[in-house]
Structure 1
């Protein structure tokens, strides 16, 4: 059974190592983070400090968008949008990686601590019983401060997060 993580779609473009894990992994992605890819791709604001890194990441974002827009993948994604909390069938991103899109719904449960996308991420993590994987230390801090009952890992700890012994039973 693959390891599961809830993650924003843009992280898959920024961190290429997530697409070549040591074991099998399923990334569960709230649909609204897929929509953010279009915003990031078209934004004049840089995502990365170094211009060449920024261009590379925006190219990777565009590649992911184009892949998800392929007819079979698009059909899978659209099926998840029929009902709140609907799940797509998995989209393969490599030999060991699959992507599942969830039509997450922000219910403002953590509105005081988290923005709507962050709320969708933690609610998805709770519903799927999967840890959150992020590079945003402030987000991790807000999860802890709000006492959200989810596991959360910094992307820098991805290999550690893939280990058997750290998951709840």
Structure 2
């Protein structure tokens, strides 16, 4: 069974340990966070503070963009984008990692407290009833403060999240 998490696409590129999980995983990614990869790739602004790390992460961003642009994957994504909240068919990276792209729609209920990407992440996690992975403490604090009913894990606790108690919704056969 695969463990499912909602996550921003750039975090998969930024944190290498997410690409070597101890059990099968499905990263559920709102489409807008994939579009954000192009902005990061094309921007002269660094993604990481350390120039060496920045170069490595930008390389991983390019690899992830190429993965999503693969003709089969692109077709699956385009099909999902035809209907709000549709999930793509699985995009297989390897035998343990797959991505599911969601055509998430911003929700005005949370739009005032959170930026559009954050809103799509949390609404996706709520709608699909699966946990969220993040590295942004301020975002996690805002989730707690706003009492948003979403289970969130820090990226550094990824292995713990993989082993944590499963619910029926966050597992996929």
TM-based fold match above 0.5: yes
For this structure pair, what is the TM-score category when the shorter chain's length is used for normalisation? over 0.9
SS in 2 for 1:99: strand
The aligned counterpart of 1:72 is: 72
TM-superposed deviation, 1:128: 1.0
Structure 2 gap ranges (5+): 169-173
Tell me the residue number matched to 1:6.
6
Q: TM-score, normalised by structure 1?
A: 0.96
Q: State the secondary structure of the residue aligned to 1:105.
A: coil
Tell me the equivalent position of 1:28: 28
| Bigger Cα displacement from structure 2, 55-64 vs 110-119 | 110-119
Q: Residues of 1 paired with 2:105 and 2:34: CA distance?
A: 14
**Equivalent residue, structure 2, for 1:157:** 157
For residue 107 of structure 2, what is the aligned residue in structure 1?
A: 107
Deviation for aligned residue 1:113: 1.6
The 10-residue stretch of structure 1 (104-113 or 37-46) with the greater mean CA deviation from structure 2: 104-113
Q: TM-score, normalised by structure 2?
A: 0.94
Higher relative contact order, structure no. (Cα contacts within 8 Å, ≥ 6 residues apart): 2
Alignment of 1:1-150 (within 5 A): 1-150=1-150
- Root-mean-square deviation (CA, aligned residues, Å) is 1.0
| Runs of 4+ deviating beyond 4 Å | none
Structure 1: gaps of 5 or more residues: none
8 Å contact kept, 1:104–1:120: yes
